[in-house]
Structure 1
Amino acid sequence: MRNTDEMKRSSAEASDEATIVVNETGVIQSMNENALQLFQLDAEATGKVIQELVPGLNSNTMKQGVITQHVGRNSNGQQFPLFLRKNLFTINKIKYALLILHENTNSSMPGMEPQKVLNELLDMKYALDESTIVAITDQTGKINYVNEKFCEISKYTNEELIGRDHRIINSGYHSKDFMRNLWRTIANGKVWRGEVKNRAKDGSHYWVDTTIVPFLNDKGKPHQYLAIRKEITEHKLVVDKLQKSIQELVDLKFALDASSIVAITDKQGKITYVNDQFVHISKYGRKELIGRTHAIINSGFHPKSFFKDLWKTIGTGEVWNGEIKNKAKDGTYYWVDTTIVPFLDGQGKPYQYLAIRSEITKRKRIEEELQHTMNRIINVQEEERKRLSREIHDGIGQNLYSHLITINRLSTEVNHPLLEQMLEEATELIQEVRDFSWELRPSVLDDLGLIPAIRSFLNRFSESYHIDVYFDCSLSNRLDSNIEITIYRIIQEALTNVRKYAATDQAAVTVRKVESFIRVTVEDKGKGFDREQLSSGVGLISMKERARSVAGEIQVKSTPGEGTIVVLEIPT
Structure 2
Amino acid sequence: MHYDHRLVLPDGSLKYIVAIGKGYKNDKGEVVGIQGTVQDITEKTLAEQIIIEKAKEINDVRSALDESSIVTITDHKGMVTFVNDKFCSISKYSKEELIGQFHYLDNPYYKINRFIKNIWTTIGNGRVWSGEIKNIAKDGSFYWVYSTIVPFLNNDGKPYQYIAISSDITEQKQAQESLNNALTDLEKKNKELDQFAYVVSHDLKAPLRAINNLSEWIMEDMPEMPAEVSSNFGLLRGRVMRMENLINGVLDYSRIGKTLIEKQETDLKIMLHLIIETIVPTEGFEVNIADTIPEIKIARILFQQIFTNLISNAVKYNDKPIGKIECLYESLPNFHQFTIKDNGPGIAEEYHQKIFKVFQTIEARDKKESTGVGLSIVEKIIEEMGGTIRIYSEENKGASFIFTIPK
| TM-score, normalised by the number of residues in structure 2 | 0.48
Q: TM-score, normalised by structure 1?
A: 0.35
Q: Which has the higher contact order (CA 8 A, sep 6+)?
A: 2
